[in-house]
Chain A
Amino acid sequence: MNNLIAAIIGFIVAFMVLVNGILTGYTDLYMSSIIIHIVGLVCITIVIIVGKHKIKNLKAVPLFLYAGGILGVSNVVLSNLCFTELGVSLTLALGQVGQFLASAVIDHYGLLGLKKIPFNKKKIWGLLIVSIGIIIMMFE
């Protein structure tokens, strides 16, 4: 079930990237980011009102936990900076490398409150095959 949810996230992300890209074509990077966040804010506000979810404890939470939204935007800006210098394929491939490295390190040491899952050395071969696949895919 958990694996299915992960796959559903990837499925939606593929459509989201396409649709957001088209919106950016009609506007520009920064304007589209604002529009995307306004639409998102309206949607989640409706969910909260309809579901009668209470917003509380906001001040009891360490401030850095709110950085998620800022990091989400910074990702868009960073990758866009790189597109012009590195091209789309290399930027996306390197971004993917960054994602894999970060999540492997975080799993291995159990950082940021996540469950500690030491890296199983047997998986190195599978990862090698996956990496070769990604390289073939990104650079045709």
Chain B
Amino acid sequence: MLYIILAIVSGLSIILSRILNANLAIKIGMYQSTFMNYVWGLLTSIILLLFMQSGFNVTKGIPFWAYLGGMMGVIVVTLSSYITHRISNFNLTLLIFVSQSVTAAIIDFLLGSTISTSKIIGGVAIIIGLTVNIIIDHNDPAMEKTV
């Protein structure tokens, strides 16, 4: 049970992190907010490494592109700060999830693994449900300025 709650909390932390960074961006600027996100993130990571006493586990021969995740993270954090106050938070979460899942499935396919039937059926269901709600949003006056 504890781990089930922890897993849900990990999802919550993604949302909180995104909104706090967006609110910080309003106060000090978008790029400055991303900068502070990485300063505090780095400090936290260093403290964790020391706390866990896991040492410097680095294997030789890391390909150059394996380092590019940090760069992609900067784009993701900055774009998220920009978009958070411009769109319904729930729709943002949903759109990111769908786009990420579709992209991951295509990457898997291109890397040689087959896409399972359950992934296709699940994906189609998600897109149908999304479309239904996007149509409802369009007819909802409260959503006019956000979607």
Contacts and interface: CB of A to CB of B under 8 A. Distances in A.
Co-complex (A, B): yes
Contacts of A90: 7
A112 B45 CA distance: 26
Nearest to A132: B125
Interface string B76-103: 1111101111111111111111111101
Contact of B38 (A40, A57, A125, A136): A40
A40 to B, nearest CB: 4
Contact of B36 (A69, A107, A138): A69
Contact of A79 (B7, B41, B56, B136): B7
Given A41-B39, A53-B31, A127-B133, A27 B8 contact: no
A139 to B, nearest CB: 8
B11 A96 contact: yes
Contact of B86 (A2, A19, A44, A75): A2
Interface residues of B, number: 113
A114 B3 contact: no
Contact of A36 (B69, B89, B95, B147): B69
Interface residues of A, number: 109
Given A27-B59, A130-B126, A40 B116 contact: no
A69 B3 CA distance: 23
Interface of A, secondary structure class, is helix
Nearest to B86: A2
A140 B119 contact: yes
Contact of A26 (B39, B49, B62): B62
B69 A19 contact: yes
Contacts of A68: 16-18, 20-21, 24, 33, 36-37, 40
Interface of A: 2-3, 5-20, 22-23, 26-31, 33-45, 47-48, 51, 53-58, 60-61, 64-75, 77-79, 81-82, 85-86, 90-91, 94-104, 106-107, 112-115, 117-118, 120, 122-123, 125-140
Interface of B: 3-4, 6-21, 23-24, 27-29, 31-46, 48-49, 52, 54, 56-59, 61-63, 65-80, 82-101, 103-104, 107, 116, 118-119, 121-133, 136-137, 140, 142-143, 145-147
7 contacts: A8-B79, A20-B69, A30-B49, A67-B17, A69-B40, A73-B41, A103-B90
